[in-house]
């Protein structure tokens, strides 16, 4: 299953400049999801992080992983599109190397489990097959307002 940005936008409330997933490359309901973020020099965060030495902030790499997890929950029929994702925990986060303009960030999340409405994912971000960041993400889903 491949999803483009239009389908992703139908599932997530995020919009420019905070939508950090360009495409979903594959989904295995109950198991894993793989997303893609193409990092360009036009990203608004590069203006201040850092002038003359652009590096994607680690927290935004984690956020991109979380957005892929939100798509997973909708596509897997775990939650409806009327829900919004709330982070409840980030554990074991590690940043292995900088992500720079021109990188294609492959975001791989494996479903670890669900307990009392808390979903746990093991996430990795890769560039050219090398891990650049990893974390264990925990999220819950609440009703959208409005």
Annotated catalytic sites, by residue? 49
21: helix, strand or coil? coil
How many Cβ atoms from other residues are within 10 Å of residue 60's Cβ?
A: 18
Q: Could you give the CA distance from residue 93 to residue 105 in angstroms, rounded to a whole number?
A: 16
Helix-, strand-, coil-residue percentages of the chain, each rounded to 5: 20, 45, 35
How many Cβ atoms from other residues are within 10 Å of residue 71's Cβ?
A: 21
């Amino acid at each position: 299953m491949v999803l483009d940005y239009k389908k992703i936008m139908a599932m997530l409330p995020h919009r420019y400049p905070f939508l950090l997933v360009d495409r979903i490359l594959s989904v295995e309901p109950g198991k894993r999801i793989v997303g893609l973020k193409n990092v360009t020099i036009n990203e608004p965060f590069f203006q201040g992080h850092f002038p003359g030495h652009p590096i994607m902030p680690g927290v935004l790499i984690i956020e991109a992983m979380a957005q892929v997890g939100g798509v997973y929950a909708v596509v897997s029929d775990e939650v409806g599109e009327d829900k919004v994702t709330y982070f409840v925990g980030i554990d074991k986060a590690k940043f292995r190397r900088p992500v720079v303009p021109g990188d294609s960030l492959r975001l791989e999340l494996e479903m670890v489990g669900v307990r009392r409405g808390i979903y746990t994912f093991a996430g990795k971000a890769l560039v050219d097959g090398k891990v650049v960041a990893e974390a264990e993400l925990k999220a819950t889903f609440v009703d959208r307002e409005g």
